[in-house]
Structure formats: C-alpha cells, structure tokens
Structure 1
C-alpha cells in the first residue's frame, strides 16, 4: 500500500511565538520592569526634546485612601493622551501630583492615632498629617503604576512641598497687594461636623427631612393700616434661626391682605391667600383689607423667641413661590439676610458655636445642638399659641461633602477672594480656551458669572497658613516686605515655621516688639490645588498648559479655582484646552456606594483580567457622560480584547519569513490598502479630538471585516504559494502595513499587548520599545477610488454567499470550495477578477442567472481546494505541482 504523503510540511504554515493566551497579570509587571530598567520614559522624552511641547497638567488627586474606578478612568485616559502625543513626536513630560492638605487627612490621621485634635499640639498634628499624606501617596503611586502608565512617577508634585507652598504664598501675596483678598464678617457655608467654613465646591445637596412651620408674630407698633396685636405670618424650615430673628421682610410692590380668622388678624400676601387658607384649613375667614407691602414698612413686632422688638423692612429676595410673602430675617444665617441686615442696621445675633451647639444668646436653649433645638422651639411655639401650622418636608439640603452631614449658613469672620473685581477678566480669558463641548464652556462660564466672593479661610491646622499679621489695634497689615520675609522663611523651613516661631520672629526687625498678632486660619485646599499651574515644575515650561482633563465635578472645583488664581496672578487661563469626563456608575446607572454594594475595585480588575482590559474599557467608553462598569461589561471588553489579540497573532504568524519592501499592489490588495489609508486618517483625527471610543469602534469594524473576508481569502495565498512568489509578497506587504497600523494605533490604549507583539514583529528600523516609535504619516489619498470600483463586486459577493449558505444547509455541498457558481453579469471589471479566489469557490462560469451547484471534482491533497479531474495530476492541482517542482 502506497504511503500517504505529508504535504503539510511543504506549506508556509503560520509561525509566531506571540501566544494566543494573554496572561496580562504576569506580563504587565514584566513589561513595567523592562520599561523602567531601560529608562524608556526618559528615552521617549529625549527622542522628542526638540519637538513641540504638549503638556497635560495632572490635577492632584487627594492623598487619602485607595484608588476607585473614577481615579482609574481619569489616569487611563490621561495616559492614552500622553502616549499618543509622545508617539506623535510631541515633547510630553508628565508630572503626577497630589493634594495633601485638608480636613479628611487630618481626621484620618487623628482617628488612626485615636487623638482629639484639641489635645494635640499644632506642630505634632501637622507633622503626623504630613507623614500620613506621604504614606498615602506611596500607596496610590504603586496603584497608579499598575495601570501601565508611561510616567515613571519618579518626579511628582505635592502641595505640601516647600517649593510648592512658596509659590502658593507668592500667588496669595500678589492677590493681597492687588486688593483681591479681604477679611469680613459674612454668612458662609459652615460645617458643624468639620467645625470649619466650606467653599461652594465642598458642598453637595442631599435629601433632608426638615420641619416646615408657619409662625405668627404680634405687631407692637402699627400704623393706619395695621394695628397693634395684628399678626405677621412667616414660614421657615429652620426654627432654630428664630432665636436670631431681627426683622421681617416684605416686597414693597406685592399686594398683601389682612385676614380675620377666629377673632385674630393675620397679614399674608394676597396671591397666597387661597393656597394658605386651604393648608391651614381655615374655612370661615374674612379679608378685611388689601394694601401694598410698602404701606407697612417700619411697623414693629415682637420677635417672640428672643423677646426683641424688631422692624418690618423691604427685602429684595421676597418671592411668592413658597411661604407667606413675609420672610423672617436672621442676618448672620443667610446671604440675603446679611445684606438686608447691614442695609437696615438690624441686630446681628450669633447664637451658634463652632460645633453647632447654641451659646448663651439662646437663653434656655443653650448647649443644645441647633437641629435638636427645632423640637423644643416648635413645642414652645405651640404651647404659647404662636404656631399656626407644622408639617415635615423632604427637600434638597446642603451637606458637607466629606462628612456627609448637614451644614448651615453662619456668619463668621473669614478671608475672602473678591471675585467681582476680576470677574470680567476671568470671563474674557475663557474665550482663548478650546472646549470640546459647548456644555463644558457654558457650565464653567455660568459658574463664574454666578460666583460670589470665595471663602478661602479654614479654621483648622493642617494646611498652608494665611500669612497675615494684625497690628496692635487689630488692623490687618499687608506689606510686600513682610510677605517677602515670611515667604523667605518658608522657603528655608517650610510652613511649619508659622507655628513654631513667635510673631516677632516671623516679622522683619523693623516691625518687632509692637504687640502684633498673626492669623491662625489656613487656606482652603482648593486654593492649594488652584495654584498648581505655578506650583508644579514641568521642566521649566510655563503655563498656560495645553490640557486640563478631570471629572465634570471639577468645573466647580479645580478648573474653577485654577482659573481664578491664574487670572489673578498672570491674567490668563492656566489651560489652552479643557476636557472632562463623567462619573463611573454601575450597570444600572447607579452611583457606586458601600450601601448598595455595587463598587468595583480597579485593582481587583487588574489582578484578575489585566490593566489592558481596564484600559480598553476606558477607551471604549463615552467618557464625556457617566460610564458604566460591571463584571459583565469587563467580560464583554475581554471578548473585544481577544478579537484584537487573535488578529495581531494571525498577522504576526504570517510575516515570519517577510522582510519589508515597498511593493506595487494590484487587485484586492490595493483596495484593502486604500481602506487602511482612509482608516489611518480617521483614527488620527479621533486621537486629535480625544474620541477614543471611535478609534476602538472603527479598528474593531476593520478587523471584523478583515477577518471575515480578506484574511480568509488570502490564507490560500499565504500558505500554498511559493514563499517568495510575487502574489504572496504582495499580501504580506499589506498585512505588514495592517499590523504596523494596529500596533501603533492601539499602543496608547493597550500598551502591554502592543509592546509584547512589537517584540515579535520584524519591523523595519525597529526600536527597543514600541514606546519609541513614531505615529504613522497620514497620506491624503484620492477619496475611495478603489472602493467605488469594487462596489459592484461586494454586492455580487453578498448574494453568492447567501446562495452558498443555502446550498450547504440543503446538503448540496459541504463547503464553499466545492461550489460551482454561475454568475449573471456583464461587468468587464468583475470578469477580470480572480473570482475563484475572491469567492473561495471551486468553479466559475458566466450565464444568465446567479446559481450554486456541486460539480464533479477532486480535492487537491496539498491546498485542499476542489478542481475538475483534468486539473489534478498525482493528487495535486497544477499550482501545487508547480510549487513543489520549483
């Protein structure tokens, strides 16, 4: 019996050591080490040092706790941008930063030490807080590196560095000397749980249950319209502020009515009579008279809780949207109240301590927490017949975004930045900034337009001190030589010097021994991070920097404070471009929270799946909106990744014997090259516009199309033809170009995978790392010349493929290469094509219909294609015989 010949050894079978299995959790630390050991980041900078700069300035994450998926999304997108810009030959030093001051770090450190902040010296507190913040930076730094970021994290910036604090104080000094910093008594957001003032950016709104009460105040001195013992009716959801009531405001132009109910008279806005009488269930009431608000100005009433005699005044903020049309005024507990109180010289009563308890001004309510006093005050009002109606409402109420507890407006002496003085300059600076959404521009613009003066003082110890002195008469002193003297001390010793030295030791000699005092408040952490444009040293490159990219919450935070400080200091925005991302939510669009148990740890994803999968998820997200993540979504991303990896592997495995050479293309190869060139143009534009989801989508579509058609039809050429045949080298040239494109284009997104594949790629002028490659040149080609020409073929192909599929289902043939296809076409172009190869069929003839049959054939034992018997010799087809003979 004749031995069966082994033709497989004569085929050009795929060959590569690039594994099908990713093993990213093993390979990622390996390549991280290779990049570090070979100083790849420094080499990238060296390669591009004479090129145009592109500086993405890193907004400082807070140095407290492990990373969450929001951190991961932010740093991954930044790294994609940096890697793209660097491979596109921009000079891209990236200096990561950390925000290191503030209450959360102070609290966390105190909790770990189990110490009350009142029982530890300021210096000990500051030293321990600094130590804690630095330990958190080291934890976060290691976690960020697991994201496979290009930066080596050797050079970073920290807001607690002496050099940073000095620059921050220089910004503060300039703002002081330009008249932008002032001290004043004003109601500000006050957090009893933090015992400190808060900036707007530190306030979030949550649902809160509050008492809603209508209270009557008896008139003590009336006029010809309103008489003694008539009642002014007010509404409030903060009964505890009644202790500080100093006036009742009306609107001069509103109509008001005097109502009689059960032998008592009440004054309310005329337009609210119907709704209020229904709320109070007053059925037999009588309207005695109507009058304008201005008619009762300056009448007086008894402020029932504090027993003071107070006036009725005009209020610009009185509306008819809620309440009674009369508004109770407690000047130190609301912004509008304060303005009205100052204008009318009202009594300023401060009855709330820093911790939220009531002081001696609250008489019998002293030492009670302000919210707890609501119940006592309500009970007293009811017992003394002043309470008209009580119910409880749920509404959005401001909370401290760190402690998650309610806050109040409370008048305290604070330091402010006067926004109004530079508001026009800030708004004008935005005209020079490129926004990637109209929404982003409008949001930042509106926030600046509506922004009041910025409260920058905090009553804590861990932060940059407000370096202000008071003279012997308690007047504020702002002199350049004093600022410079202190800043010089900070440059040598750090800001602890402010707390370690006496006042005289902190002053120049001329100002000593005068009984001066110093400010003990620290600066708002947003002032710290908002000076990073100056505080960071990015190879001496000066702002404005090319791009700021952070979460959408930073329009009220870091974008905002950076913009204000930069305009105040250098009269321009600190960024040329502004880009933002949404929040990471679960599969159902819900915010991640411990209570819901829907949080996903990015480090767990990396440990289980690899950072490239997490990076691909980030790139494949519409990040400008909120982004969903779940195990299911990560699994789907894994499928997409495998498709890319398997395609890369196939391309590599068919280039093992190929040396790059410019090749003139024909036929289908020319079409695929044209498609590739057009895709290159699109991908580059998507990168330039930060539209990474479109890059992933278009490359994926290209790969799917490639796999289902071009790579399928060219396998026969790649495996069967003579190794150095013209047709095979033509296909290899195309797949070389495709592989080069895929690795370069996906490198910023999945760097480990592309680096690994690059090591097996016999690339012309190969570098030691793909990181040192250059992005491809975009060649404008005549738009879709080949695509237009081939259109009719693909219409025909789809029809024939359907007929082949039906024939296989009907058991007429087992596979497409057994098919005898008749084609109905008059096209010279189609007739000129190698249709057997392009349609992967056994026999082609032209007739008056499209039809698929089986034909009497033999299978070539080498290429496994089917041929008519006359075309087979010694069990091989003509082509295979020729290849073997050669």
Structure 2
C-alpha cells in the first residue's frame, strides 16, 4: 500500500489503517522476533509481566499500567536492546471462581459441591478463562500493547504450576513449610482462609461500634473497663489483657468503681455526662494478673456460664497500648492472632460458637442464627440492658474485607499450611537491596513491609487453583511433598493427565513409614503463589529453562504500589527460596485512575470506565498520550474526557506539521536522497531546531529509561508542538514559498524532514499508531528509504556536525525577545495582526551580517514588527524598554508603536487570515492558486487592499485579487469594518 496524509485529519482513520496493516503483515510478531532472535549480542532488557487476572474486562486503570509497560518495552526495542517481552495471564483462584459463582447464582460454597459439582465447576472456570483471555488480547491489540501473547504464560498450565510445587518442596526441605492450627483471616462468604498480606488489598473505611463496657470482678464490688470495636467477639471472650508495667487506677464515678489505665482515664471519663471521678488507688498492671471476672454474657451464652480459671482472668500482653481504649483489652483467642497467642501462653480455651460461614450456631444461645456483623447490635443491646455499657458510639475506621468479593472478614481458627516467612526476612531484605525502585520511596515502603512479615498462610479451601502437592498419612501423619508431576507419577505409578482438582485427589499413596494411606491435603495454593513464581515458571512453561540464567533477574516489572504487599512480595519470597536473588533489577509503580471528581473508580459507584469504551471515544493514541503526559506514573490521575482531547490534540498539530512538509516538498520535487548536502546550507534557525531536537531526544530517552514517562512525553511532544510547529514552521514559511529552486528552501525541507524523521521513532513509544502512519507517509510521499515498521528503526540523535551551540544560544535569546514583545502587545491590548512599527534589540553578542538578517526576519514574522534594528547601543528615544526573561541576556526597546502604514498592514494581515480560513474550509491544497474578490464600504480596508495587494496575494497564493460584488461570498467584521470575500480555485 502507498501511504499519504489527507487534508482531513482523522485519528480514527489513522488507527484503522495502521491496525489493518499490522495485522495483515504480522508486524507485532516480526518486531518482537527481531528484538529477540536478531539481537543476540546486544544488551538485554527482560520484562516480567504482572499477569492480569482473567475474570473481567480491561478498565481504564488496567489500561494505564499496560500503556506504561508497553512504553518501556518499545523504548528498549527502539534503543536496540535484545528484548524479552513475554505476556502472562493469572488464570486461577478466587477471582475466576467468583465469576462462575455469579453465573450460576451460587450463594454459598456448599452449593458448588452439592448443586454444581466440582468437576463441572472447574470446567466452567476453564471456559471463562479462555473467554477473557481472548477479550483481553483484543483490548491489548487495540491499545497497541505489544507483548508476546502467542507464548504468554498461564498460571493454570501444568508445566507452569509445577514451579509452585518446586517452591513448596524446597520450602519443606528447608523446614519452611508447616501445618498448624491458628487463627487466620477468613472470608465467610468464599469459605477460605486468606493470608495477612491480602488484608491490605481489601481494607475499607467503615462505620463500626466503639463500645466501652464493664466487666464485673469476682473479688470485689468493682468493674474492669474494656473497649472494643467488635462487640460480637465478646461472645467468645476468655480473658482481659493488661500492660503489666503500666499504671492503673481504681476510680469511683457516680457510685461505681472502675479499673482502667491512668493514662487513659481522662479520655474515657470525658465521654460521660458527669466525668467527675475520685481516684481510690494506684497500682501497676501486674498486680491485676490472675484476677477473675464474671463473663459479661454468662447468662445469654451457656458455655460462658461456666467460664472459670484459667479462663475469664486478667492476663498480661505486650500488645496492650495506652494510645486508645481503656488499657484493658478484651481477648477472644478464637478471633485474633494476638489473642490466640495469648491464649496459648496462658492455656485459655480457643472457643467460639461462630461457624465458618460467619453465622452463630446454637451454642451462641441468645445470639444463635445471627450474622456476625448483625450480632454487634444485639450484643450492645444486651449489655446495655444489664447496665454494663459505660459508653457507646459509632466510629469510622479501617476494617479488612475480602479483596475479591468485598465481604467483611473474620479471624477464625483452623488447621492450615504456612510458609515460614519470618525465617527468611533478613535474606529477603538483603537481596532486595539489589533492586532499584521508581519512585525511589518504593524501596523503603517494601523494605518496611518485608521487615514486618508474618508467616504466610498458603493454603486455600477452594477448587480452581494449584493443588498443594502435599500428601499426608491418615495413620501416622507422615508428610510427602512433591516438586513435579513426574515425581508424583513415579511415586503413585499413575499418569497425571491433569494436576487439578478433582482428578488429583483420586491419587492415594502408601505411607513409606507405617504402610497407611496417604491422601492429598485438600487445599489449593494461595493464588499469589501462582503469579509469585512467574520469574521461573514463565520459562518453564515454554520448556526454555536454559534461558533462565540469561533473562533472570528480570530488568523491569511494573504494578501499582499495593503490589509491594502482593505480587512484588510473593515474587521476592519465592525467588529468595529458589534462587537466593531478587527476581527483578528495577520495579516501577503506577497510581490509580480516579473519576473526574477525584473519586476512586468502583463498580458500586458506577464510575468505572472500560478501556474499550475509552478507546472508542478518544482513540488509542490520545488515551496513551494522556496517561503518559498528564502526571508522573506513580501519581493518581483524574480521568477527564476534555483533558484527553486537549492533550491528544497535540497529535493533530504534529500531523499538520508533517503535512506542511509533504505538501511543499512534494510540490518542489524535493527528495531526502541528498539530505546531507542540503543540510550544509542550514540557517541559524535550522541549526537551532536541530539542537533542540538533540536536546529533546536526549531528555526523552533519559527520562523514559528512568520511568519518568511524564517528563519523557512532555519533552518530545512539547518540542514538536511548541518549538517545531509554533516557532520553526512559522519561521521557515516564507522560505518554502520561494518560487523555484533555492538552497535555503532545500535546507528548510532537509531540516524539517530530519526533525520529523528522528522524532517519529520516539513517538512510537507513546503514540504508536500515529508514529507508524507518519513514518510510512513521509517516506512514501518523499521517496525515502524505510523499513517494514517504524519499530524496526533505532533512535538517533540530531546530525552531530550541525550541533551549533552558538546558533542555538542566539536563537533562544531571539525567541525570548519575541516573547517579551508579545507580552508587551498583550499588555497594551494590541491586536496580534497589528504590526509594531519599529523595535531595537541588543542580543549581547557579535553577529554576522547573515545572522542579523535571519534574526530580523524571525522577529518581524513572529512578533509582527515592521522594522527591526539590531544594535548594542541604547536608542536615544523609545516608547518602552522591555523586561526580557531573566537570563535571556538581551535588551528590547520599542521605538515606535504604529502609524497609518503599520495600521494598514495590520488590516491587510486580518484580510489574509480570513482568506486563509476560507481556503481551509474549501479544503484546498497548499499549492492551489485562487482568485479573490472583495466587497467593502470601508475606506480603511480599501486602502489596505490597495497598498498591500501584492503582499496579500503572496501570503494567500492568490493569482488575482480585486474589488467587486463578491456575490456568494462570506461576510466578516474586522474592528467594526465589514467586508465580503469570495474565493475560487484559479
């Protein structure tokens, strides 16, 4: 196909054309193959894909991260690196299961086994994953996200999930894998335990009770004051905890006596109507240890009526602080990790009538049948009737919710499998030092999280996931952990066709220790373990383990900051165990997409923008540029349609710059085959724009390398719009209008061609559709050499021989003087097209005659000045002395503002503007000549037409201009002077 630039810019048409070209010619595949197979001796850039979960469609937040990932991959391809860019999909776990539950209207986990069946349920999960992968690939391709999808890793793949098994086996061998009965976070709706690092992923700000309640002491007429935000857990209370070294008091208030921490007495009693209190005695917390109390719900819950030592006593705990509450912490060993540990220390009963589904059973007595959150209200009511409520209010605080289904979590005791993260914390911190972060604060945030690691609950009571490769003897408890499917096949003598449930559970082994039967532990692995071995499993799936030493540690990975506690974290754990190294050399982080009001997008608010809808509305390149240009990658961005269009509007300007070049260069028959020779005639402003080009390229590349994509995109697109379009193109316009061949015209073409030709590959990082379209169009129209795709080019700087710092300095000063003149005009409310009669400029350096001519022309055309003097002497008289931008090193004097001649020239320019507008509306080509007829009763406009007819003809490519009736013409008003203009193609 032959490419060209239409006079009608349409980003939709550009993207359709390029998309069809890419698909028809397999461009993505060819570029990725070239970047890997064709560059064996080049520096390596290996990208580790954070796998999207295949349980829904791509939204704007997903799109933001993927645009950044693609930009980093494209950057390194264009820099000539050998690039590994394998895609990946997170295909298992609760996120996928919940989609199927919605499909079948599942309300409880039990329904999966009883109504649907595990085998059918898992098959439905597989089909759902297939569907969403296909949809994600479509959205990726539309956004021009170029990863290797054909060889993308999938966490459900048997060869992939074997790496999870390898990790677990190695952990078992090193004593890092253990089974324990503990209190862990649990989703009552999903029916499974969760890990501690998942808590932050679903934390929400909610309203909960803040209850100060009384607990009657057994050895006297006084009460212990306790505080809780989870009144439902009082049902399972088994102790009150104090700080043994803190000061406590016995106070009398309103005829009752209370024990609480002295440091909190003021805050607690201030909540009462009559806070007057008398301190009866002071003592350390340790003096309270062992004291018994009557359970506040002894009458309502049968099991609590017999609560006796060691239960229902005061114990010591180091987690009791004096920052909030009463200094006495209600302790329920079944509903808190710290409570559980305290219970073990003091031999307390780990008891609860709450069931795994979050509903209280019959043992809860008066509270039976209540959902745990509903029980809060009932507990408060009961305690209030018994006179045991000191104060009650509602507060807003953070409470953990299931990160997938949004259900409030409970802490609940159960037997689970754990990875002993606490044993490798220092190893993890040590290898993490080898990782660079962008933004820089990412390191301290992750190091802090790693430092506070708890053991990882790695088991899940679900179905669609990587089965734990752990077989346990029913008789003696012997454990066997398998590191591969082959190991299991050899041990069982059976072929393992599918390592997933339910088939894997049919394999029963003979215990080598006692001869009993060994059955698989009925858990699947935490889904974070699946993606957490991607550093190794991605290659293992492809049978390319030999490449691991080449690709690993990965050069770059990118996800939102919360993945410090998620994917980044589990990658670090598994890599430390399997390889003793950090899995990544550099980590980037990206912020959220907010709605136009600054609110976080969520389905519940109905403000989520889907990626495909955004692309349909704005086009892929406008969205990509907005995401890169609007803010630093790690800052949140408000999704505002108007801003997307405004930032995306830069692409239209760049398109028109390219069209300007092609229109005039094609008209003159200019070709880039003699580029170097034509550049030898580069003028002062040509050398300036080439220096600016080099600066823009360097800044763009350096910023992008450092993941400062906002600085990179601003450098490139501001250069192309502000410097190239708004300054350089205006400055060379008269040169390209010279009739016939001229060295200065060829130099202008060569310079603008060089600027575009070397900028466009950089554009491919951010706006690949426009880059591809402009690349092919420029070369096809001008007959230049090109490759099959702009992505097969390599980034170049400006031609070194033309790096003229002196020229760049002179022109920069000139533009600063122009800015000062324009500011003066604005302050005086002078129309842009009304010329200033005369100015005098001192640039503060020696200039050649040729340079002076160029500078005068530049100031005259861009600042609309009739006469420009260049002198190092201050003029004897002047209207105004202008302030040039600090550091400009130049002085500007307005000698004379205007006279009748400049006024008429201003009106001539206003006529030119109207004629040019009519040319544009008539969709005429740059080289089309026109005939112009004007009708006006204005004497001043007639004078302007008479005096500047030739000037107007030259500026508008008019072969003839005359006064007449201008029938069928268009009426305009210029400073209350009316004129009718008619044009036709000559």
Q: TM-score, normalised by structure 2?
A: 0.79
Aligned to 2:922: none
1:174 aligns with one of 162, 167, 170: 170
Shift of 1:549: 0.6
Contact residue 459 and residue 468 of structure 2 kept, 8 A: yes
Shift of 1:507: 3.0
CA distance in 2, matches of 1:511, 1:359: 40
Shift of 1:580: 0.5
2:748 aligns with one of 731, 756, 762: 731
Aligned to 1:884: none
Alignment of 1:501-580 (within 5 A): 505-507=507-509, 514-537=516-539, 541-542=547-548, 543-580=552-589
1:108 aligns with one of 63, 78, 99: 99
Shift of 1:575: 0.6
| Higher RCO (CA < 8 A, seq sep 6+) | 1
Alignment of 1:856-871 (within 5 A): none
Alignment of 1:49-448 (within 5 A): 49=38, 50=40, 51-114=42-105, 116-119=111-114, 120-151=116-147, 153-203=149-199, 204-220=202-218, 227-261=219-253, 264-282=256-274, 285-305=277-297, 306-307=304-305, 308-309=307-308, 310-448=312-450
The alignment status of 1:709 with 2:727, answered yes or no, reads: yes
**Aligned residue pairs, count:** 847
Aligned to 2:737: 719
Shift of 1:279: 2.4
Deviation sequence 1:569-593 (CA, Å, 0-9, x none): 1111111000010000123321123
Moved more, 443-452 or 822-831: 822-831
Contact residue 490 and residue 497 of structure 1 kept, 8 A: no
CA distance in 2, matches of 1:207, 1:808: 54
CA distance in 2, matches of 1:466, 1:209: 38
Aligned to 2:891: none
Deviation sequence 1:709-731 (CA, Å, 0-9, x none): 322231222121433x3222221
Deviation sequence 1:376-397 (CA, Å, 0-9, x none): 3333333434333333333222
CA distance in 1, matches of 2:89, 2:483: 31
Which stretches in structure 1 are left out of the alignment for 5+ residues? 1-14, 221-226, 878-886
Q: In structure 2, the residue corresponding to 1:173 is in which secondary structure?
A: helix
Which stretches in structure 2 are left out of the alignment for 5+ residues? 298-303, 878-894, 910-927, 932-943, 956-986
Moved more, 593-602 or 120-129: 593-602
Deviation sequence 1:263-301 (CA, Å, 0-9, x none): 543322223333333324456654332221112222222
Specify whether residues 479 and 795 from structure 1 end up closer, same or farther in structure 2 by C-alpha distance, changes over 3 A only: closer
Specify whether residues 474 and 288 from structure 1 end up closer, same or farther in structure 2 by C-alpha distance, changes over 3 A only: farther
CA distance in 2, matches of 1:104, 1:821: 72
Specify whether residues 368 and 718 from structure 1 end up closer, same or farther in structure 2 by C-alpha distance, changes over 3 A only: same
CA distance in 1, matches of 2:628, 2:64: 9
Contact residue 687 and residue 808 of structure 2 kept, 8 A: no
Aligned to 1:748: 765
Specify whether residues 87 and 386 from structure 1 end up closer, same or farther in structure 2 by C-alpha distance, changes over 3 A only: same
Q: In structure 1, the residue corresponding to 2:326 is in which secondary structure?
A: coil
Alignment of 1:740-779 (within 5 A): 740-762=757-779, 764-777=784-797
The alignment status of 1:698 with 2:715, answered yes or no, reads: yes
Q: In structure 2, the residue corresponding to 1:212 is in which secondary structure?
A: strand
Specify whether residues 216 and 787 from structure 1 end up closer, same or farther in structure 2 by C-alpha distance, changes over 3 A only: same
Moved more, 236-245 or 255-264: 255-264
Moved more, 837-846 or 659-668: 837-846
Contact residue 687 and residue 804 of structure 2 kept, 8 A: no
Contact residue 561 and residue 589 of structure 2 kept, 8 A: yes
Contact residue 192 and residue 355 of structure 1 kept, 8 A: yes
Contact residue 529 and residue 558 of structure 1 kept, 8 A: yes
Contact residue 758 and residue 798 of structure 2 kept, 8 A: no
Deviation sequence 1:850-872 (CA, Å, 0-9, x none): 4466499999x9999x9x99xx9
Q: In structure 2, the residue corresponding to 1:347 is in which secondary structure?
A: coil
Shift of 1:217: 2.7
Contact residue 16 and residue 649 of structure 1 kept, 8 A: no
CA distance in 1, matches of 2:586, 2:464: 33
Q: In structure 2, the residue corresponding to 1:714 is in which secondary structure?
A: helix
Shift of 1:311: 2.2
Contact residue 681 and residue 779 of structure 1 kept, 8 A: no
CA distance in 1, matches of 2:275, 2:105: 61
Aligned to 2:656: 646
Shift of 1:214: 2.8
Shift of 1:845: 6.7
The alignment status of 1:41 with 2:28, answered yes or no, reads: yes
Aligned to 1:784: 805
Deviation sequence 1:145-197 (CA, Å, 0-9, x none): 11022236222111111111112211221112111111112221111122211
Aligned to 1:9: none
2:638 aligns with one of 617, 628, 644: 628
Q: TM-score, normalised by structure 1?
A: 0.88
Deviation sequence 1:320-347 (CA, Å, 0-9, x none): 2222221121112112211211111111
Specify whether residues 327 and 481 from structure 1 end up closer, same or farther in structure 2 by C-alpha distance, changes over 3 A only: closer
